[in-house]
Structure 1
Amino acid sequence: MASLKEVRNRIVSVQSTQQITKAMKMVAAAKLRRAQDNILRMRPYAQRLNGILANLTGLTGGEMVSEYAEQREVRRVLVIAVTSDRGLAGAFNSNIFKGVNALLREQYAAQAAAGNVTVMAIGRKAQDYFGRRLPTLGSYGHVFTQLSFDTVRVAAEQAMDGFRNGDFDQVVMVYNEFRNVATQIVRTEQLLPLVPAEAAEEVATSNVDYIFEPSKEEIVQTLIPQSLKIQLYKAVLESNASEHGARMTAMDKATDNAGELLKSLKLTYNRTRQAAITTEILEIVGGAEALAAG
């Protein structure tokens, strides 16, 4: 049985850990509110932009004539993996690692075996993990330190340039989609080549009349790069909100577990203390009886 001093030290240690997890939970909750507001504002904008692009595509005959829509044989793949900069968020980061590994195993096994899979790691955890396993593109390990559209735009433009120049035949994003504090879903979405919008056929048959200036084609060519950058920025914002939700949940569970452990340790401490007192009493009684017998 552990000594009283050892149990006391463990109680103090667990109490300190519990205070830290409580503080981290509160910090994550504060950051989550801001991150949730950001993604809730971004979603309608991204959907509206995609809707406008679908409308224009439908009015131009349903075909997207763009260098970003070129369908090629998939020989070289770029996977954009979005994680966090820090851990202590439960399975948040490991789910992305598993998602990317499953994607390579199930969909891009031939390309991975040939060494034709490159990872753009957004977030320090992704950079640390994939940097030791696969070729990487760019350095975006600390995007969340100063999260902004301009920072993500640089990453999006590098991926777009790689596709346009023929360095990659397909670009795929893997990220955590934010649903609520307790639920984050790993999403795999194709960024390039562009997938024709489902709404294009419906819009093409509608009786909507537009006045275009300068022309439909030029407007589409302007909107497509912007839409791609917004898609990646939205994925990063989704991941940011998911991270804080996952960390808040993980720290809440850690705090509860620390409370349960404290109860067990205090019970052990009281039992050990009672056993020590009983032993001392027995020793005193035994000594007194020995003196009386002598």
Structure 2
Amino acid sequence: MANLKEVRNRIQSVSSTQQITKAMKMVAAAKLRRAQDNIIRMRPYAQRLNTILANLTRNADAAADSEFGVVREVRKVLVIAITSDRGLAGAFNSNVFKGVNALIAERYASLPAASISVMAIGKKAHDYYTRKGNIVGNYTHVFAKLSFETVRAAAEVAMDGFRAGTYDEVVMVYNEFRNVATQVIRTEQLLPLVPVGAPATAETTANVDYLFEPVKQDIVQTLIPQSIKIQLYKAVLESNASEHGARMTAMDKATDNAGELLKALKLTYNRTRQAAITTEILEIVGGAEALAAG
């Protein structure tokens, strides 16, 4: 039979934990709303930019002419792994690690480990891949003050590396936000450009005739780098919203589990207390009968 003091201590401990998980759920819900608004506003812009870029590269073969559209034999790869700075978000971060491992095993199995570099955006990814080595830069500060400027710096490092031939491909792995309870691991090639990957719509399949002012080539060469930076920024926003959704769901489940555990502990406490009272009564009755018999 469990000791009453031990059960009381466990009840207090679980109750305190439940209060913490409730508070974390509320904080995650507040952050999720802002993050969800950000990604909802970003998606139309990123999709529209992709549509324009797809038409330009289809009509003018601009991707092949761009320094970011050069297709080379893949010998060195940069994988951008986007995670969170903090844990307590269920399988949010571990799913990214699994996605990166699956990507390497399926797509780059023939390459030596030293030829695969990782750019970790988020403290969890940085800590994980620092232990494994071959990490590029330190981007643990991105989510502390999330903005296009902070993400652009990471995008420019990847772009400069591709342009210089340090990397032949740049691929990003992140959680795409669907809803509060659903985040899907996405693997997207950032470089070289793959125009055919643009969504097929009535506009992208049509022969769109653009008017360029002042020079067509200058506009295209400006638009392509901007589009690459926007795609990485969108992925970071998707991951940010997914993180808060995953943490909100995880804390909600933790609160429910704590509630179930409290019920079981209180039931155990009441049974133990009742058994102790019954034992005391029996001892008193036994003592009284012994005195009466004597």
- Is TM-score (shorter-chain normalized) higher than 0.5? yes
Amino acid in the other structure paired with 1:149: F
Which residue of 1 is the match for residue 170 of structure 2?
171
2:288 paired with 1:288: yes
Question: Alignment partner of 2:176: what SS?
Answer: strand
**2-structure distance, mates of 1:235, 1:200:** 17
Give a deviation string over 1:29-65, Cα, whole Å, max 9, x none: 0000000000000000001111121222233257541
One-letter amino acid matched to 2:16 = S
Unaligned 5+ residue runs, structure 2? none
Shift of 1:134: 3.1
- Mark the CA change 1:165 to 1:27 in structure 2 (over 3 Å): closer, same or farther: same
* Cα deviations by residue, 1:152-194 (Å, 9 ceiling, x for unpaired): 0000000000000111000000000000000000000000011
1:142, distance to aligned residue in structure 2 (A)? 2.5
Unaligned runs of 5+ in 1: none
2:46 matches 1:46: yes
SS in 1 for 2:234: helix
- The answer as to whether partners of 1:172 and 1:190 remain within 8 angstroms in 2 is yes
Give the % identical residues: 77
Change in Cα spacing, 1:142 to 1:209, as seen in structure 2 (3 Å) is: closer
Residue pair 1:56, 1:216 contacting (<8 A) in 2 also = no
Q: What is the letter of the counterpart of residue 265 of structure 1?
A: L
Provide the rounded CA distance (Å) in 1 between the counterparts of 2:135 and 2:160: 15
Q: Specify the code of the residue in structure 1 equivalent to 2:139.
A: Y
Is 1:26 the counterpart of 2:26? The answer is: yes
1:194 counterpart residue number: 193
- Asked if residue 66 in structure 1 is aligned to residue 75 in structure 2, the reply is no
How far residue 282 of structure 1 moved from its aligned partner, in angstroms, is 0.7
Q: Is the 8 A contact 2:58 2:195 kept in 1?
A: no
Task: Report whether the alignment pairs 1:104 with 2:76.
Answer: no
- How many residues matched? 293
CA distance in 2, matches of 1:227, 1:265: 56
Instruction: Name the TM-score, length of structure 1 as normaliser.
Output: 0.95
Q: Which amino acid aligns with 1:95?
A: N
Change in Cα spacing, 1:259 to 1:204, as seen in structure 2 (3 Å) is closer
Q: Deviations over 1:54-106 (max 9, x none)?
A: 22223325754111001101000000000000000000000001111111111
Partner of 1:140: 139
Q: CA deviation at 1:207?
A: 5.7
SS of residue in 1 equivalent to 2:81: strand
CA distance in 2, matches of 1:289, 1:204: 97
Deviation string 1:268-290 (CA, Å, 9 cap, x unpaired) is: 00000000000000111111111
1:237 aligns with 2:247: no
CA distance in 1, matches of 2:252, 2:16: 15
Q: 1:253 to 1:54 in 2, by over 3 A?
A: same
Q: In structure 2, the residue corresponding to 1:74 is in which secondary structure? A: coil
Q: Any conservation in 2 of the 1:181–1:246 contact (CA below 8 Å)?
A: yes
Change beyond 3 A, Cα 1:116–1:287: same
Check 1:61–1:122 CA distance in 2 against 1; reply closer, same or farther (3 A cut): closer
